[in-house]
Amino acid sequence: MKDFIDDELIEQLLEATRRPTAARVREVIGKARELKGLSPQETAILLQAEDRDLVSEILQAAREIKRMIYGNRLVLFAPLYIANYCANNCLYCGFRRGNKELNRVALTMGQIRGEVEVLAREGHKRLLMLCGEHPDRSGLDYFLEAIETAYGVKTEKGGEIRRINVEIAPQEVEGYRRLKKAGIGTYVLFQETYHHETYRKMHRDGPKADYLWRLTAMHRAQEGGINDVGIGALFGLYDYKFEVLGLLMHARQLERDCGVGPHTISIPRLEPALNAPAAMTPPCPVSDEDFQQLVAVIRLAVPYTGMILSTRETPAMRREIFDHGVSQISAGSRTNPGGYREGTSDGFRAAQFNLGDTRTLDEVIHDISTHGHIPSFCTACYRLGRTGQDFMDLAKPGLIQRFCRSNAIFTFMEYLEDYAAEETKTAGKKLIARLVAETDPAGVRETLTGRLARIEHGERDLYI
Ligand code: SAM
Ligand code: SF4
């Protein structure tokens, strides 16, 4: 496949849209409100807006679009790091081969079971499983066995993992076929930086040095039958405006070639990591204000693509950004393999990077639900086969909002019944009562009330 990221074109777009007029910015915001997405040029105009009032208008439009398409749900997941051996030497990552001080681990299947039990007992239903790239220590066979092991865990009160998304190095099409067969949800992979020269500097050797092999991974994943793919850029390596346009071009290429764009876009920002020079001094740090703007611009540019925010960000920053378009968040995370069972987040000596938000899942749930968000553990679309184009067909007319809102409330109620601390349970039930009262039409309200009563009486895993 040909390289479809044209650095020069992106730089030209950014140059040509410098200091846009207020009228032009407002015109683009108006177009974004039609929910049809934006062209790279329109997106560049919003990225180049600097006037504070105009930026506020962009944030406001992102809030409206987020509410319209996703409502106030936030889907929760936990990352599960199973191994930290790595053949690569990415300058920003604590797992890099050159980090001689890292405690290297590849969890055994028994240890993986132990990690998943901890997560299931906290109430998690969705995992993102990941590891370093190491053909001998954590190759595809090992990874597939880990998926099977994790899906096999059952704890008391019906605790189980219902969806495993995965983030591993680029594979051949056959590898993706095997991952699909193992029942994965989304295949996630970040390009890190779309800027070729920066990519070269950050990945001088090892398998990851091949930009094009990584760029085309999502195309191979689609060919291998994985409908839901998630792209991302690691913000802080190069100009964030360039990266947003790179993400958009990647999304459009997938739509063109595979008939469906990415299911999610991740927006990690660089965090400090042990012996990782580019993480300790990011080449192009992104300020909090710029980060908010870029999240909002992505929301406007690709309104139907989910956006994932991790615990790299602090609680305060997460609270700010949720409203601007984020639809999925991690919570209670550890980035050191074995960290859940050990109960350590210190793990700097085994971790990939430092965390900005170290609260437990229950603390995060209490926080977001008292701010009016509905925590969701829903996995219905994936289990009913509503993925890829089928998902988009439902999402676009707004039907997803109806399904998802009810399913979010059901899974939230399950969480409150089985895992929540008393204070979270009281706050959560108050929120659910309000959500039920606000539900229209009456038919949907009745279905909701009926099923919530069934959950309170012990039934589990209800979804529509
Ligand atoms: N090893 C595979 C790879 O590189 O694609 C799997 C994913 S890696 C374990 C997860 C992601 O963490 C990387 O793609 C990178 O974007 C991100 N990451 C690495 N170092 C980071 C840091 N210091 N701060 C924030 N994110 C980082
Ligand atoms: Fe290895 Fe991935 Fe870290 Fe690079 S980002 S060093 S490939 S784990």
- CA distances, 39 to each of 15, 36, 238, 251 (Å): 16, 10, 22, 11
Burial of 33 per CB tally in 10 Å (0-12, 13-18, 19+): middle
Contacts of 374 (CB under 8 A, 6+ apart): 71, 72, 73, 74, 405, 408, 409, 412, 431, 435
Residue nearest ligand 1's atom 26 by CA: 270
Please identify, by atom number, the ligand 2 atom nearest to the C-alpha of residue 89: 6
Radius of gyration of the chain (CA): 21
Q: What's the 322 CA to ligand 1 centre distance in angstroms?
A: 22
Written as six digits, the tokens of 335 are 């980035």
Tell me how many degrees the CA angle 227-308-69 measures, rounded to the nearest 5: 75
Give residue-wise pLDDT tens across range 398-449: 666 678 889 999 999 999 999 999 999 999 999 999 999 999 888 889 999 9
Q: What's the 393 CA to ligand 1 centre distance in angstroms?
A: 32
Query: Residue 352's pLDDT band (boundaries 50, 70, 90)?
Result: confident
Please, what is the angle between helix 288-301 and helix 40-48, to 10°?
150
Measured from the alpha carbon of residue 80, the closest ligand is 1
- Mutational pocket test of ligand 2: of 86, 213, 336, the residue with most ligand atoms within 8 Å of the beta carbon: 86
Residue nearest ligand 2's atom 6 by CA: 96
Are 225 and 15 in contact, with CB atoms under 8 Å apart?
A: no
Please identify, by atom number, the ligand 2 atom nearest to the C-alpha of residue 84: 8
Are 417 and 455 in contact, with CB atoms under 8 Å apart?
A: yes
Q: What's the 203 CA to ligand 2 centre distance in angstroms?
A: 10
Please identify, by atom number, the ligand 1 atom nearest to the C-alpha of residue 189: 5
Compare 443 and 255 and report the one with higher pLDDT.
255
Q: What's the 93 CA to ligand 1 centre distance in angstroms?
A: 6
Are 116 and 82 in contact, with CB atoms under 8 Å apart?
A: no
Return the amino acid letter for 311.
T
Please identify, by atom number, the ligand 2 atom nearest to the C-alpha of residue 206: 7
Q: How far is Cα 191 from Cα 217, in angstroms, rounded to an integer?
A: 10
Measured from the alpha carbon of residue 85, the closest ligand is 2
Q: Give, for 423, the enclosing helix (H) or strand (E).
A: helix 422-438
Give residue-wise pLDDT tens across range 52-103: 999 999 999 999 999 888 888 999 999 999 999 999 999 999 999 999 999 9
Q: What is the mean pLDDT of residues 13-17?
A: 98
Residue nearest ligand 2's atom 2 by CA: 132
Range scoring the smallest mean pLDDT among 188-192, 228-232, 437-441, 449-453:
437-441
pLDDT at residue 393, rounded to an integer = 73
Q: How far is Cα 93 from Cα 115, in angstroms, rounded to an integer?
A: 23
Q: What is the mean pLDDT of residues 98-117?
A: 95
For ligand 2, whether the C-beta of 365 sits within 6 Å is: no
Are 270 and 279 in contact, with CB atoms under 8 Å apart?
A: yes
For ligand 2, whether the C-beta of 299 sits within 6 Å is: no
For ligand 2, whether the C-beta of 198 sits within 6 Å is: no
- Kindly report the CATH number that applies to the domain delimited by 72-381: 3.20.20.70
Q: What's the 169 CA to ligand 1 centre distance in angstroms?
A: 10
Measured from the alpha carbon of residue 214, the closest ligand is 1
pLDDT at residue 343, rounded to an integer = 67
Pairing of strands 154-155, 159-160: antiparallel
Are 179 and 188 in contact, with CB atoms under 8 Å apart?
A: no
Measured from the alpha carbon of residue 189, the closest ligand is 1
pLDDT at residue 171, rounded to an integer = 98
Residue 164, beta-bridge partner list = 127
For ligand 2, whether the C-beta of 96 sits within 6 Å is: yes
Give yes or no for a cis peptide into 40 (omega within 30° of 0): no
Chain Cα centroid distance, residue 299: 14
Residue nearest ligand 2's atom 5 by CA: 93
Query: Residue 344's pLDDT band (boundaries 50, 70, 90)?
Result: low
pLDDT at residue 440, rounded to an integer = 84
Residue 131, beta-bridge partner list = 83
Residue nearest ligand 1's atom 25 by CA: 270
Query: Residue 172's pLDDT band (boundaries 50, 70, 90)?
Result: very high
Residue ranges lining ligand 1, Cβ < 6 Å: 92-93, 130, 132-133, 167-169, 189-190, 192, 234, 268, 270-271, 273, 276, 279, 312, 352-353
Contacts of 163 (CB under 8 A, 6+ apart): 125, 126, 127, 185, 379, 382, 383
- The reported pTM is 0.96
Q: How far is Cα 138 from Cα 305, in angstroms, rounded to an integer?
A: 30
Question: Across all residues in the chain, what is the average pLDDT?
Answer: 93
pLDDT at residue 441, rounded to an integer = 81
Return the amino acid letter for 189.
L
Compare 179 and 372 and report the one with higher pLDDT.
179
Q: What is the mean pLDDT of residues 113-117?
A: 96
